[in-house]
Amino acid sequence: MIEGGRKLHGSVSTNTSKNGSVGLLCASLVNKGKTTLHGISKIEEVYRIIEILESIGVKIKWIGQQSICIIPPQKFKIENLNKEAAVKTRSIIMFAGPLLHYFKSFSLPHAKGCKLGKRTIAAHIYGLEELGVKIKVTDQNYKLSHRKLSSNQIIMYESGDTACENLLTAAALIPGKTVIKFASSNYMVQEICFFLEKLGVKIEGIDTTTISIHGIGEINKDVEYWNSEDPIESMMWITAAIATDSKLQIKRCPIDFLELELYKMEKMGLKYKTSKTYKSKNGRTNLVDISIKPSKLKALEDKIEARPYPGINIDNLPFFGLIAACARGQTLIHDWVYENRAIYLTELNRLGANVILADPHRVFIQGPTEWKPAQVVCPPALRPSVVIMLAMLATKGKSILRNVYMVNRGYEDIVKRFNNIGAKIKSTED
What pLDDT is attached to residue 112?
Answer: 59
**DSSP state letters, 325-377:** HHSBEEEEEE--S-SSHHHHGGGGGGGT-EEEEEETTEEEEEE-------EEE
Same fold, 2-15+229-419 and 18-219: yes
What pLDDT is attached to residue 65?
Answer: 85
> No. of H helices and E strands in the chain?
14, 23
What pLDDT is attached to residue 214?
Answer: 98
Share of the chain above pLDDT 90, in %: 87
Share of the chain above pLDDT 70, in %: 97
Q: Homologous superfamily of 18-219 in CATH?
A: Enolpyruvate transferase domain (3.65.10.10)
Q: Among 52, 53, 133, 122, which Cα is nearest to 97's?
A: 133
Helical residues (DSSP H) of 146-305, grouped into ranges: 161-172, 187-198, 231-243, 259-268
* Assigned fold of 2-15+229-419: UDP-n-acetylglucosamine1-carboxyvinyl-transferase; Chain (3.65.10)
Where does the pLDDT of residue 9 fall: very low under 50, low under 70, confident under 90, or very high at 90 and above?
very high
Q: Is the pLDDT of residue 111 over 80?
A: no
Domain limits of the chain? 2-15+229-419, 18-219
162-166, 378-382, 399-403: segment of lowest average pLDDT: 378-382
What pLDDT is attached to residue 430?
Answer: 46
Residue 102 buriedness (CB in 10 A; 0-12 / 13-18 / 19+): middle
- The neighbour count for residue 383, using CB atoms within 10 Å, is 24
